[in-house]
Chains A and B, each alone.
Chain A
Amino acid sequence: MDVLNLLFVNLREAITTWLAGFLPMWAAEAVVHFGVGLILVVIGLLAVMVLTLGERKVIGRAQDRYGPNRWGPWGILTPVADAIKMLTKEDIVPEGADYWVHLLAPMCAIIAAVLIYAVLPFGEGMWGTDLNIGILYIVAIASLGTIAILMAGWSSNNKYSLLGAFRVVAQLISYEIPMLLSIVAVVLLTGSMSMVEIVRQQSVPHLITMPMVFFVYLLAASAELYRTPFDMIEADSELVAGFFTEYSGMKFVMFFMSEYFNLFAMSAIITTLFLAGWRGPILPGYVWFFFKCGVVIFFYWWVRSMMPRIRIDHLLNLAWKFLVPLALVNLMVVGLVDKLIADGIVQDVVLLAANIVVAIVVIGLLAFASRKTRSKRLQRITARR
C-alpha cells in the first residue's frame, strides 16, 4: 500500500538522486523543484479542462440535455477545441482603453491563481512546498486576483466592466472577512498555519466537528469564486459579462482559466481544511484528495444548475449582517472549547454539540427576525391555486 501511496514521492527522490550523479546537489534540487512547479501548473491546466467540460456536462444533464458531445468520444476533446478557438481569435483592445493595464490584468489574474498551487498538499509528501504559513500565504495571494479584476474593469473603458469591477471590490472584500474568520477557527484548533499540519491534525474531519464553520466557509468561498448564487461579477443577464466584457482571445482565456484554477484550488483548500485532505482508508492519499475535491466541485455545479443570482445589496447584507457575526460566534465557540477541553474524542463531540447549538440559535433568531414577512409570504405561496 505504501508503495502506491508514496509512488510520486519516491519517484521524486529517485530523480533527485539520479540527477545528483552528474550535477551538483543544488543544481539537481533546482531542476527537480522546477519540474514540480511545472507539474503543478499542468495539474491546474488539466483541472481547467476537466472542470469546463464537467460543468457543462453536469448542468446539461440537469437540464435534460446531453451537454457537449460532438468532439471526441463523450465530447472529451471539447476543451481542446475551445482552446484552439479561443487562441485563434482576434485580440481586441477597445478604443480609449488603458493599454498596459488592460494587458497586465489577465496576467495578474492567472499568476495569482497559479501561485496558490504551490502549497496545496495533494497527498502524503506531495506538495510544492510546505510553508509554515501556508494558509496565510493562500489568503494573501488570493487577494491579488481582486486587483487584477479591478484593473480589468477600470482599463476597459466600458461601463459594464466598471460596474462589474465595483461589485467585485465590494463582494470580494466583504467575503474575505467571514472566510478568514473561519480559517482562523480551524487554525486555532490545529495550532498551525501549515496546510500539511492541518491535514495531519485532522483525525476526524472538521466538517463533522465544526459544521457551522464549514457552512460559513462554503458560502464565503462560493462568493470568493463568484459561483452562483454570488456570480455578481459576470452577471450575464444584466452586465453582459462583467469585468471581461471587453476581453477577447488569449486575454479572455486567461481570465477564464484563472477562474477555474481558483475553483479547483478552493475545492482543494476546502478539502484540506474541512475534509481531512488526503486522509482516507484503503485507497492512496492522492486518490482520496481528488475524490473529495470532485465532490465539492460537483456540489458547486449542482447549485449552479438551479440557483438564481442574489442581489448586490442582499449579498453585502448577507456578508456583514449574517456571516461575519456568525463566523465570530463560531470562532468564540471553537476558542472556548479548545481552551477548556483537552484534545481528543471528547473535544470533538463537545465541538459538534456546540456547533449544533449555534445552528439552532441562528435558525431561531432568523425565524424571530423574519416572522412577519415570512407569514405573509407563506400565505401567498399556499394560496397559489
Chain B
Amino acid sequence: MLRTETITLNLGPQHPSTHGVFRLRLQLNGETVVGIEPVMGYLHRGIEKLCEQGTYVQVIPLTDRLDYVCSMTNNQAYAVAVEKLLGLEVPERAEYIRVIMAELTRIINHMMAVGFLWNELGAYFTPAMYCFRAREHILDLFEMTCGSRMMCNYMRPGGVSGDLPEGFLPAAKKFNDYFKGVIDQLETFLNENEVFLARAVDVGVLPADVAINASITGPMLRASGVAYDIRKVDHYSVYDRFDFDVPTCSNGDVYDRYLQHIKEMWQSVRIIEQALDGIPEGEVMNDQAAKALRRPPQGEAYGRIESPKGELSFYVVSDGSANPYRVRIRPPSQINLSALKEMCEGHKIQDIVIILGSINLTMADLDR
C-alpha cells in the first residue's frame, strides 16, 4: 500500500454549499475524508445575552432570528416555555392557529431541505425552485396573518398577537389541496432518479443508537428508525386531537433523510387539513398574560416543541423581575451536528456536502 500524505482543506467559511458561514476543516487522503472538524461561530450574535437585557415580550423578535426559515416554531417554543413558567392557559383557538402555523412552517423547512439537498447534489436549482414556489405561497399566508414573511413575531406567551385575518382559512385550504400535487410532483421528479439513488443510498449512515447518544432529534432521528416525535410524546398544544402518524425510515442514510422529509410533509398536510376543519371560534389571547409577564414568579421552566429540525427548547430562568434572568436555547441545528464525524469519515468530499445538506442546518440557529 502506498503511503500518501493527507491534505487539509477548509470547506468554508465562504463556500456555496455550507448554507452560510460555516467551516469544515477536512483532512483528505486524495478525495477521501479522514478527518473532519466543524468550526462555527461566524454568525454568533449573542442572542442569549440579548435575551437577558429585554423584557419577556422583547425576546420574541429575537427568536425569529434564530432559525429564519422557521420563525413561527421558534416563537412557539419560547411561548411554550414562558407559559410553563407563568402557568398560563392558552385559548383553544390560539392553539389551533399555532398548530396550523407550525405545520406550515414544517412544510417550508422540509421544502427548503429537499430543494437544497438537491442543489448540493448538483441539480442546478430546479428542485429548489419548485420548492421555493410552494414556499412562496406559505409565506404569503404568513404575511397575510402577521404582516411579515419571515420574521413573523406572531406568537406571544398566552396566545397569538392577532386573530386570523379574513380570507385566511379559504386560502389555506386552497393551498393545502394544491400542495398535495406539489409533493406528488416532487416525488415523481426526485424519488427514483438513478444518480440520486447511487449517491444517496448508504452514504452518511447514522445508526439509531449513535443518534440517540448524540442527542440527535427530529427528522434525522426518525430517519434512523426511532419513532420519537415530541408532538406525540408530550401532547403539547392540541396535537392529541389530530390523527397523524410518526413516519420513520430504517437505514438512516442520506436517502432516508430525504424520504423522511417527504413523508413528514404528507403528515403535516393531514394535520393542517384537520386543524382547518376543526378550528373553533373564540379569543386568541389570554387576558392575564400581560399582567403575568410584568411580574413573573421566581423559578425556571423548560419548554420544548418538535420544531421542523428537531427538538427546539427554551430553558428560561426567572428571578422575579420583568427581564428573564437566563435564557438558554437548545438549537437543533447545532446538536444534530454532533455525530458528524461518524457520518462523514471514509466518504468522499462530494458525500460530505450532501450529508451536510441532509442534516439541514441553518447557520443562524447554529451560532445564535
Stretch at the interface among B71-79, B102-110, B193-201: B193-201
**Interface residues in B, total, Cβ within 8 A:** 45
Q: Which of A130-152 contact B (CB under 8 A)?
A: none
CB pair B129–A309 under 8 Å, yes or no, is no
| A65 vs B125: C-alpha distance when bound (angstroms) | 11
Residues 337-357 of chain B, each 1 if its beta carbon lies under 8 Å from chain A, else 0: 000000000001111110000
A237 at the interface (CB under 8 A from B): yes
Task: Tell me whether A381 and B31 are in contact in the complex, defined as CB-CB below 8 angstroms, given that A63-B125, A238-B353 are known contacts.
Answer: no
CB pair B129–A228 under 8 Å, yes or no, is no
Task: Tell me whether A381 and B126 are in contact in the complex, defined as CB-CB below 8 angstroms, given that A163-B31, A311-B198, A314-B198 are known contacts.
Answer: no
CB pair A64–B133 under 8 Å, yes or no, is yes
Q: Which of A166, A240, A385 has the most CB of B within 10 A?
A: A385
User: Shortest beta-carbon distance, B346 to chain A, in Å?
Assistant: 13
A372 at the interface (CB under 8 A from B): no
**Neighbour of A237 across the interface among B31, B129, B196, B353, CB < 8 A:** B353
Task: Tell me whether A63 and B259 are in contact in the complex, defined as CB-CB below 8 angstroms, given that A238-B349, A308-B195, A312-B348 are known contacts.
Answer: no
| A18 vs B245: C-alpha distance when bound (angstroms) | 84
CB pair A237–B263 under 8 Å, yes or no, is no
User: Shortest beta-carbon distance, B202 to chain A, in Å?
Assistant: 9
CB pair B130–A311 under 8 Å, yes or no, is no
B334 at the interface (CB under 8 A from A): no
CB pair B17–A237 under 8 Å, yes or no, is yes
Which range contains the number of A residues in contact with the other chain?
Answer: 35 or more
CB pair A311–B187 under 8 Å, yes or no, is no
A30 at the interface (CB under 8 A from B): no
B7 at the interface (CB under 8 A from A): yes
Residues 1-35 of chain B, each 1 if its beta carbon lies under 8 Å from chain A, else 0: 00000010101000111000000000000110000
| A67 vs B188: C-alpha distance when bound (angstroms) | 25
Task: Tell me whether A236 and B16 are in contact in the complex, defined as CB-CB below 8 angstroms, given that A308-B121, A308-B122, A311-B348 are known contacts.
Answer: yes
CB pair B124–A305 under 8 Å, yes or no, is yes
Q: Residues of A contacting B123 with CB < 8 Å? A: 306-309
Residues 184-216 of chain B, each 1 if its beta carbon lies under 8 Å from chain A, else 0: 000101011101111101000000000000000
B266 at the interface (CB under 8 A from A): yes
A304 at the interface (CB under 8 A from B): yes
User: Shortest beta-carbon distance, B25 to chain A, in Å?
Assistant: 12
CB pair B126–A62 under 8 Å, yes or no, is yes
A-B contact count (CB 8 A): 102
Q: Which of A208-261 contact B (CB under 8 A)?
A: 228-229, 231, 235-240
CB pair A305–B126 under 8 Å, yes or no, is yes
Majority-rule SS of B interface residues: helix
Residues 281-312 of chain A, each 1 if its beta carbon lies under 8 Å from chain B, else 0: 00000000000000000000000111111111
Task: Tell me whether A309 and B126 are in contact in the complex, defined as CB-CB below 8 angstroms, given that A159-B9, A240-B16, A314-B199 are known contacts.
Answer: no
B358 at the interface (CB under 8 A from A): no
Task: Tell me whether A311 and B350 are in contact in the complex, defined as CB-CB below 8 angstroms, given that A159-B9, A385-B263 are known contacts.
Answer: yes
Q: Residues of B contacting A356 with CB < 8 Å? A: none
B323 at the interface (CB under 8 A from A): no
A89 at the interface (CB under 8 A from B): no
**Neighbour of A65 across the interface among B15, B129, B259, CB < 8 A:** B129
Q: Which of A56-78 contact B (CB under 8 A)?
A: 59, 62-65
| A160 vs B352: C-alpha distance when bound (angstroms) | 15
Q: Residues of A contacting B251 with CB < 8 Å? A: 380
CB pair B262–A309 under 8 Å, yes or no, is no
Q: Which of A305, A308, A309, A381 has the most CB of B within 10 A?
A: A308
Q: Residues of A contacting B195 with CB < 8 Å? A: 229, 307-310
B118 at the interface (CB under 8 A from A): yes
A377 at the interface (CB under 8 A from B): yes
CB pair B191–A308 under 8 Å, yes or no, is no
Task: Tell me whether A237 and B199 are in contact in the complex, defined as CB-CB below 8 angstroms, given that A63-B126, A311-B348, A313-B348 are known contacts.
Answer: no
**Neighbour of B120 across the interface among A63, A237, A373, CB < 8 A:** A237
CB pair B118–A308 under 8 Å, yes or no, is yes
User: Shortest beta-carbon distance, A341 to chain B, in Å?
Assistant: 36
Task: Tell me the nearest residue of chain A to B191, going by C-beta.
Answer: A381
Task: Tell me whether A59 and B126 are in contact in the complex, defined as CB-CB below 8 angstroms, given that A238-B349, A314-B198 are known contacts.
Answer: yes
| A312 vs B199: C-alpha distance when bound (angstroms) | 10
Q: Residues of A contacting B353 with CB < 8 Å? A: 237-238
Q: Residues of B contacting A231 with CB < 8 Å? A: 122
A384 at the interface (CB under 8 A from B): yes
CB pair A238–B193 under 8 Å, yes or no, is no
Q: Residues of A contacting B256 with CB < 8 Å? A: 380
Q: Residues of A contacting B130 with CB < 8 Å? A: 63-64
CB pair B199–A310 under 8 Å, yes or no, is yes
Task: Tell me the nearest residue of chain A to B7, going by C-beta.
Answer: A159
Q: Residues of B contacting A381 with CB < 8 Å? A: 191-192
Task: Tell me the nearest residue of chain A to B119, going by C-beta.
Answer: A237
User: Shortest beta-carbon distance, B265 to chain A, in Å?
Assistant: 11
| A231 vs B195: C-alpha distance when bound (angstroms) | 13
CB pair A237–B125 under 8 Å, yes or no, is no
Q: Residues of B contacting A313 with CB < 8 Å? A: 31, 348
| A64 vs B126: C-alpha distance when bound (angstroms) | 9
Q: Residues of B contacting A314 with CB < 8 Å? A: 198-199
User: Shortest beta-carbon distance, A87 to chain B, in Å?
Assistant: 25
Task: Tell me whether A310 and B198 are in contact in the complex, defined as CB-CB below 8 angstroms, given that A59-B126, A62-B126, A163-B31 are known contacts.
Answer: yes
| A53 vs B265: C-alpha distance when bound (angstroms) | 36
**Neighbour of A306 across the interface among B7, B16, B126, B349, CB < 8 A:** B126
User: Shortest beta-carbon distance, A312 to chain B, in Å?
Assistant: 6
Q: Which of B210-267 contact A (CB under 8 A)?
A: 249, 251, 255-256, 259, 262-263, 266
Extra 17 A-B pairs, beta carbons < 8 Å, given A237-B16, A310-B199, A384-B187: A64-B133, A159-B7, A237-B121, A237-B122, A238-B120, A238-B349, A240-B15, A306-B189, A307-B123, A308-B118, A308-B193, A309-B195, A310-B198, A311-B199, A312-B348, A381-B191, A385-B266
B residues with a Cβ closer than 8 A to A are: 7, 9, 11, 15-17, 30-31, 118-126, 129-130, 133, 187, 189, 191-193, 195-199, 201, 249, 251, 255-256, 259, 262-263, 266, 348-353
A-B contact pairs, 29 of them (CB 8 A): A59-B124, A63-B129, A64-B129, A160-B9, A163-B349, A166-B30, A166-B31, A228-B122, A228-B124, A229-B195, A231-B122, A237-B120, A237-B122, A238-B352, A240-B15, A306-B123, A306-B126, A308-B193, A308-B196, A309-B122, A309-B123, A309-B195, A310-B195, A310-B199, A311-B198, A311-B351, A312-B31, A380-B256, A384-B259
Chain A to chain B: the 5 pairs with minimum beta-carbon distance, closest first: A309-B122, A308-B121, A63-B129, A237-B17, A238-B353
